Amino acid sequence: MPTLRSESAPRRSSRVVQAEKAAAKAKEAASAAADKASKKARPAAKKAGKVVKKTAAKAKTAVRKNVVKPAAKKVAKAAGVDVKEDEEDKPKSTSRKRKADEAEDDKDDKEDSKKQKKDEGASGKYTIGDIVEDVVLHNEDDKEVSLKSLYDEKPLVIFSYPKADTPGCTNQACGYRDIHSEFSDLGYGVYGLSKDKPTAQLKWKTKHTLGYSLLCDPEDKLLKKLGATAANKRCHWVIAKGGKLLEAAIGVKPANDPKNALDFVKSIKNGGAEKKKDE
């Protein structure tokens, strides 16, 4: 009769069995702990990766700003090339302010363009040919200025703008600055006009080397009478010597305004010369 295996195999003691079970549990626990630790470590590793990436970016920017750019500027300067300041090197707060100002100016320009046809005939107290009455304002030095004293001396070109030192207004003002000598050669005085206070006007004038005076009209004493409506804040007026209103351009574009005003003044001069020649 064959012998059964269970009868011939050695029996394991209960201690061995328990030890094996304990070892299996320990292995499972160790595996679970390892998985848990791995999951916890992932966010920390990801965060560390971001820190490393951010630090590397800062280091790259610092090298570019403090090493590459100065070297490039020196080379450009030696070559006689004017290098402008890079936008990304400017403070973010300044960039945000500039964008907000540009958005405000763009909004004004869109309103001007949209309502220009509607308001082409819009005017204040005066129409072409009227004598503009005297009004006393302050200039950028906070000194009183009589409008009559200005146009009694010479004919005037007065342009208005919404707010000093904003992009669109600066574009307009610098345009008048760049051709100011041509107005002077024709015998005309140029004046900027807005609701800004003298301190803001002076700061802006100094910053951009504007070669003409800026008038302050916070109470709309002159702006309203001349026809600078809420929808069309950018305008220009041409006033003859003695105060007669020759042109009222209501709702103008900042980039085109200076040249358009100059062309009108030239047309007056040319017309006068031709008239004298015919006589």
Question: Could you list the active site residues?
Answer: 169
Q: How many CA atoms lie within 13 A of 66 on its CB side?
A: 6
Q: In 64-154, which residue ranges form alpha helices assigned H by DSSP?
A: 69-78, 92-115, 147-153
The angle subtended at Cα 156 by Cα 153 and Cα 158, nearest 5°, is: 140
Question: At 11, which amino acid appears?
Answer: R
d(CA 144, CA 140): 10
Residue whose pair of structure tokens reads 């006033």 in the numeric block: 239
Contact between 183 and 265 under an 8 Å Cβ cutoff? The reply is yes
Structure-token pair, residue 21 = 């079970």
CB burial of residue 6 (10 Å; 0-12, 13-18, 19+)? exposed
